[in-house]
Amino acid sequence: MKAILLLCLALLSPITAAELRVSTGFDGGSATIEAIDSAKREIRIRPGGDPARGWACWWFVRIEGLGAGEQATLVLHGSERTTRNNGQDTGKPLSQDWAMPIAAAVSDDGKTWRQTGLGTRGTDRISYPLEGTGGPLWVAWGPPFTPRETDALIAEATQARPDLVHPFTLAETREGRSVRALRIAAAGDAKTKPAVWIHARQHAWESGSSWVARGFVDWLFSDAAEAKGLREQAEIVIVPIMDVDRVVTGDGGKEAAPHDHNRDWSDTPHYPEVAGAQQRMKAYAAEGRLAVFLDLHNPASRDLRPFFFVGPPELLSDTARANRERFLSLAAGHLTGPLALDPKPRVTGANYHPLWRRISGQWVNDHGNEHTLAACLETSWNTRHSTTDGYRTVGRQLGEALAAYLAPPAP
């Protein structure tokens, strides 16, 4: 009897374990699928990005065949393809650290994201624990944010405040996609209000930066008195995704050929969305009201606290230098956690990158007004708080810091 039972189990187990299937055929999807072991419940992948389209650290898959409560493992290896850095092929793959957060993002519907348990790191891999729900499971490097999320953000904001929100298309990309954005301004605004420009995803893989932008917008339309003050007092532009092309194709963007978006801020930009942003910011500057430019990014794996990158202080006017110090101090007072700001900014310059003058913040310093504040916020992605909620909290706190910065002096 016992022998028969064991035989039955042995025969049954490969049959009861449903075949696992992995796909990437959707916006942002990316992986090279190395092996699917349905019996062992193990899937092995690498990031699927083309290094000519940026660092191959982003990955995003959909898994089917996992039963409710069933355990499985997603084993991730680094990309084997040689990567570009400082504008050249290095002949070596990218450090795998960029692709391996301590926990992956996971979702049952591709929209609402949570973290997996902590991954187990080996020398050439990390293994993330998965638990099935009976339906498909989406698993990614971090919470994805694609043009679908931009559309949702614009639709919600427009519905909440049709009087204030003006959606527009910043540009059509080189590959024919729309770069959508929101402008927030009260009807009949005189062209005197301070203009604030915030964009994310000049580097496509840095999905957390779009969630920071989303958190800022959610806060801006909240009932908070500071939010109300800011939306009445300033004209604000938000571009949740700059490099729409590489976000959609699941490529990294950073160090793409011929250069990436944040090395494109010259007089002759390669990317139409960079040209569009320059044109609009120049118009604000011509009206003397380009007050704030914020460029949102995610940093390196070991940067466990958010921080600001700024240009060399000696290139700023006295006014701009004082403004920047005041803003950075307000930001340190508001970005208090759980992702707490490192109050010490990092300064970019010639030793940071050969094309440092073509970084967006430097372009804004060179083309803005005497009082313009330009800074790049790097929000940590490799922590337990690097979730949609954690990123959105940073966005809210950034909004509070901006409101304090732009608030009129007390009478």
Give the binding site for Zn ion (CB under 5 A): 203, 206, 297
- Continuous segment of H or E residues that includes residue 410: none
Which of 333/349 has CB closer to Zn ion?
349
How far apart are CB 203 and Zn ion at their closest, in Å?
4
Pairwise CA distance, residues 325 & 303, whole Å: 22
Residues 375, 198: contact at Cβ < 8 Å? no
φ, ψ (nearest 5 deg) of residue 33: -90, 115
Which of 179/234 has CB closer to Zn ion?
179
Pairwise CA distance, residues 359 & 265, whole Å: 6
Residue of 258, 256, 274 lying closest to 266 (CA atoms): 274
How far apart are CB 201 and Zn ion at their closest, in Å?
9
How far apart are CB 297 and Zn ion at their closest, in Å?
3
How far apart are CB 243 and Zn ion at their closest, in Å?
10
Pairwise CA distance, residues 294 & 264, whole Å: 16
Which of 226/243 has CB closer to Zn ion?
243
Which of 81/297 has CB closer to Zn ion?
297
Pairwise CA distance, residues 391 & 376, whole Å: 15
Pairwise CA distance, residues 294 & 321, whole Å: 16
Residue of 100, 103, 246 lying closest to 179 (CA atoms): 246
How far apart are CB 170 and Zn ion at their closest, in Å?
18
Query: Would you give the DSSP letter of residue 408?
Result: P
Pairwise CA distance, residues 320 & 336, whole Å: 25
How far apart are CB 208 and Zn ion at their closest, in Å?
10
Report how far Cα 26 is from the mean position of its chain's Cα atoms.
18
How far apart are CB 376 and Zn ion at their closest, in Å?
8
Query: What residues pair up with 183 in beta bridges, in sequence order?
Result: 166, 237
Taking phi over 0 as left and psi of -120 to 50 as alpha, with beta for the rest, 395 belongs to alpha
Which of 227/256 has CB closer to Zn ion?
256
Which of 206/264 has CB closer to Zn ion?
206
Three-state DSSP class for residue 43: strand
Pairwise CA distance, residues 22 & 45, whole Å: 10
Which of 206/273 has CB closer to Zn ion?
206
How far apart are CB 239 and Zn ion at their closest, in Å?
14
Which of 149/295 has CB closer to Zn ion?
295
How far apart are CB 258 and Zn ion at their closest, in Å?
17
Q: What residues contact residue 12 under an 8 Å CB cut-off, 6+ apart?
A: none
Which of 149/206 has CB closer to Zn ion?
206
How far apart are CB 141 and Zn ion at their closest, in Å?
14
Q: What residues contact residue 236 under an 8 Å CB cut-off, 6+ apart?
A: 183, 184, 185, 195, 196, 197, 198, 220, 230
How far apart are CB 98 and Zn ion at their closest, in Å?
11
Which of 113/309 has CB closer to Zn ion?
309
Which of 131/303 has CB closer to Zn ion?
303
Query: What residues pair up with 179 in beta bridges, in sequence order?
Result: 171
Distances (CA, A) of 389 to 39, 171, 316, 341, 382: 36, 29, 35, 16, 14
Pairwise CA distance, residues 126 & 167, whole Å: 41
Pairwise CA distance, residues 322 & 317, whole Å: 9
